Amino acid sequence: MKLGKFSREAIATFLTIILRDSGRRLARFLWMIYRLFCLFLLTATQAAAVDTCHGDTACDLGDRSYHVLEPDDWDSETPLPVLLHFHGWARQGTVVVNHERIAGATKLRGVLLVAPNGLGKSWDFWTSDTRDVPFADRVLEDVAKRYPIDPERIYVSGYSFGGAMAWRYVCQSGNDTAALMAVAGSIRQTEHCPQAPAEVRHVHGTSDTVMDFPFGPGGDTTYPVALWRQKYGCHNATPGGDWSVVPILTLSRMEWTDCAQGQVVLDTHSGGHFIPHGWIGRQLDELLGREPTYP
């Protein structure tokens, strides 16, 4: 295609303008392009991180990580209650976010499930000098940056070694948590806890030989929550009755509601080391003010 005289003159004029002070103009132009490109990369990277950090894909947090699972039918705006759940020994958060008795309960109740990954697939809950409590604090801080969460409804749970870690966490950093929901695992009842959740709920099987049921003097079956009863200033236990979700397992409940602060609920059963069907779901229903349902 041939260019007319006008087109040739326009191009020549344009090139003259560009070349006249090309150094300064070109530098400004390239700097603007560079900044826009960097902004694009940053935005794209953050979006990709949020999109891929879900379910089986872990959220990186420094040299540690955790998993997160949103509830069903969430509108992406409503603030979410949070269940911070510590996995059992030799497990990771992937097990938690795929577990019917844990994730199955949170998904149906509008609760955000958060499952930290322990170092070496375990937890250091033995003493107060543990790096896992500060790590869990960082996990909750990171979750709050990714999701709109309800700070008044942060629940902490765990199973087995994870149950003991849940106890350790609320013992050291639990003042801002709404409830402890521990399954078949705890720390020593003689521990001193500088902090505490607003409420404690614990379940344990009397035939458990993995994390042995902590019978008290004279075979006292209320001893598994002695630490919290003493800290809360509780006195008289009230039978809460028997309840069950599946025919093969009955749980017996004891409640302490006359405490100077907080309250304590203990469910026991005759079985061994497992998460009872419907237990986590029932606790969430009661804490959220819902009619208990299964699953």
Residue 37: burial class (beta carbons within 10 Å; 0-12, 13-18, 19+): exposed
**Sign of the torsion angle spanned by Cα atoms 107, 112, 117, 118:** negative
Out of 21-30, 55-64, 77-86, 194-203, least confident range: 21-30
For residues 120 and 252, membership in a common domain is answered with yes
Taking residues 71-85, report their average pLDDT: 98
- Residue 26 confidence class, pLDDT cut points 50, 70, 90: low
Beta strand 149-159 with 179-183 is parallel
- Whether the link from the prior residue into 295 is cis, omega within 30° of 0, is yes
Q: Residues 5-33: what's their mean pLDDT? A: 56
Are both 69 and 20 inside the same structural domain? Answer: no
Phi-psi region of 30 (alpha: psi -120 to 50; beta: other; left: phi over 0): alpha
Instruction: State pLDDT tens for residues 219-262.
Output: 999 999 999 999 999 999 999 999 999 999 999 999 999 999 99
Q: Residue 160: pLDDT above 60?
A: yes
- Domain of residue 26: give its range: 5-50
Q: Between 294 and 38, whose confidence is greater?
A: 294
Region 120-148 average pLDDT: 98
Task: Identify whether residues 218 and 102 lie together within a single domain.
Answer: yes
What is the number of structural domains in the chain?
2
Give Cα 229 to chain centroid, integer Å: 25
Residues 158 and 282 in one domain: yes
Residue 121 counted as domain residue: yes
Does residue 21 form part of some domain?
Answer: yes
**70: CATH:** 3.40.50.1820
Residue 294 lies in a domain: no
Asked if residue 122 and residue 90 are part of one domain, the reply reads yes
pLDDT above 70 (res 86) = yes
Q: Same domain, yes or no, for 216 and 136?
A: yes
Q: Is the pLDDT of residue 92 over 80?
A: yes
Entry field: residues in the chain: 295
**In the prediction, which pLDDT does 45 show?**
41
Are residues 92 and 11 both part of a single domain?
no
10, containing H or E segment: helix 5-20
